[in-house]
Structure 1
Amino acid sequence: MIMSTIMMLFIMWILIMAIAMLNFLISKSSTTKMNKISPFECGFNNLSKTQPPFSLNFYLMTILFLMFDIEITMIMPFFILYKTSNMLLIMLTFYFFIYIMIVALMYEWKQSILNWKM
């Protein structure tokens, strides 16, 4: 019984090694080029000394999107809690949160962050 189990494991090991060797032989050999092995982040080439100018509007719109995306994920549980309970503290927290979001939106509007000027 033990001998047959050991033999089965040995055969499986041979089969796995054969498949790995076949994969190594059949696979397309890739020539390593500098562009393929160099790090590439955010559209900037790290190997060059000069960086292209970065538009601050893209960054600010991303922050704005994330802020309102998080706002939506925070608002959804409030509606569920509102149906199940009638707690004043939950609604005051909800209104305070919405107030902060509206003030932030008005500030960004005043700073003309919402205008796409390129």
Structure 2
Amino acid sequence: MWLMFILSSITIILCSIIMLLATFLSKKSIHNREKTSPFECGFDPKSPARLPFSLRFFLIAVIFLIFDVEIALLLPIIVINQWSNIFSWSLITIFFLLILLIGLFHEWNQGALEWAS
């Protein structure tokens, strides 16, 4: 049992080292104007390669994802009610909702939820 574990560990470590060495040895470190410029059929680009991105939109999207995941974590609380007593279920639910509300009020006080500033 231990022999198999040791051999597997050595194999994984050796493969990782070989892949890291191959990555470092195969990359080209010569950067010139042609390699770093965007390619558009050999002509100069008509528009910039990077479009401006609204940081406000990104912040609201991240906050939405965080609260969306927390709401998804609330759904199993309904099922847990059947297997636990009412006191512990109520305590866990109130604690979780309190954390959600504190986070919401913090974002509101920081002004992160306002679309236009």
Percent sequence identity over aligned pairs: 34
Larger radius of gyration: 1
State the 1:69 CA deviation: 0.9
The match for 1:96 is: 95
Q: 1:92 to 1:53 in 2, by over 3 A?
A: same
Q: 1:54 to 1:86 in 2, by over 3 A?
A: same
The gaps in structure 2 that reach 5 residues or longer are 1-38, 42-47
The match for 1:73 is: 72
Distance in 1 (alpha carbons) for counterparts of 2:64 and 2:40:
32
The match for 1:56 is: 55
State the 1:91 CA deviation: 2.8
Q: 1:92 to 1:35 in 2, by over 3 A?
A: farther
Matched residue of 1:83: which SS? coil
Matched residue of 2:61: which SS? helix
Which whole-Å deviations, capped at 9, do the CAs of 1:95-115 have from their partners, x for residues lacking one?
111111101111111111111
Q: How many residues align?
A: 74
The residue type paired with residue 65 of structure 2 is L
Which whole-Å deviations, capped at 9, do the CAs of 1:5-45 have from their partners, x for residues lacking one?
xxxxxxxxxxxxxxxxxxxxxxxxxxxxx359xxxxxxx83
State the 1:89 CA deviation: 2.9
Q: 1:58 to 1:86 in 2, by over 3 A?
A: same
The match for 2:110 is: 111
State the 1:88 CA deviation: 2.9
Which whole-Å deviations, capped at 9, do the CAs of 1:69-118 have from their partners, x for residues lacking one?
11121111001111343253333222111111101111111111111116
The residue type paired with residue 68 of structure 1 is F
Distance in 1 (alpha carbons) for counterparts of 2:110 and 2:60:
13
The gaps in structure 1 that reach 5 residues or longer are 1-33, 37-43, 46-50
Distance in 2 (alpha carbons) for counterparts of 1:35 and 1:78:
54
Aligned-residue CA RMSD (Å): 2.9
